[in-house]
Chains A and B, each alone.
Chain A
Amino acid sequence: QKEVEQDPGPLSVPEGAIVSLNCTYSNSAFQYFMWYRQYSRKGPELLMYTYSSGNKEDGRFTAQVDKSSKYISLFIRDSQPSDSATYLCAMSGSGNTPLVFGKGTRLSVIA
């Protein structure tokens, strides 16, 4: 079992839809949870950064962490064609532990 599981998609939605992206993980030591957006052939761009369980909202994006279920989510409201990209979840423990990434979910928002 991989430490971080993420459905690679592809996921295709109409413009304006609410998008739900998810990751599950097996390492209970993970405390820091991130979502990155990566456009084709570019570096990942940090979207959301959360610590421990709970919700965090930033504009059209909401990140949720449920440590009891080892499950994290990213919601995108009012999705736009410019949101079309690969979304990577990443997590790490405390101290000098590196980021562990999911495979990424490829999202297409159709105008």
Chain B
Amino acid sequence: DAGVTQSPTHLIKTRGQQVTLRCSPISGHKSVSWYQQVLGQGPQFIFQYYEKEERGRGNFPDRFSARQFPNYSSELNVNALLLGDSALYLCASSVLAGVGEQYFGPGTRLTVT
């Protein structure tokens, strides 16, 4: 079975631009969560979606938004990019929301110049 997949692998953007990151969960998993991992830190929670509904949001500005599609894949959008948005963006999937193991994808490395 395929694990969590994310695209693109790497991305370089300029300050002020917008970016869209994509995630496909493990087959049968209905919940997707997004995390931001800055170098040298643990992942920090951004959003959780379950059955296309937002179930949780971390302490991130409104420039960050996400959605989940009927096939349970998800997109994370970040507007008006700042240098501080440079990080590894991780997607995790789980069968249910809130409980159970979360399995992470390889991440998208975003560099903002």
Q: Tell me the number of A-to-B contacts counted with CB atoms below 8 Å.
A: 65
| A98-B56, A101-B43, A101-B44 given; A43·B101 CB < 8 A | no
Is the Cβ of B97 less than 8 Å from the Cβ of A96? yes
Chain A, interface size: which category?
A: 20 to 34
Question: In the assembled complex, which residues on chain B have CB atoms less than 8 Å from the CB atom of A97?
Answer: 56, 98
A67 within 8 A of B: no
A91, chain B: closest CB distance, angstroms:
11
Number of interface residues of B (CB under 8 A): 29
Is the Cβ of B48 less than 8 Å from the Cβ of A98? yes
Interface residues of B, Cβ cutoff 8 Å to A: 4, 6, 33, 35, 40-45, 48, 50, 55-56, 58, 88, 90, 92, 97-99, 101-107, 109
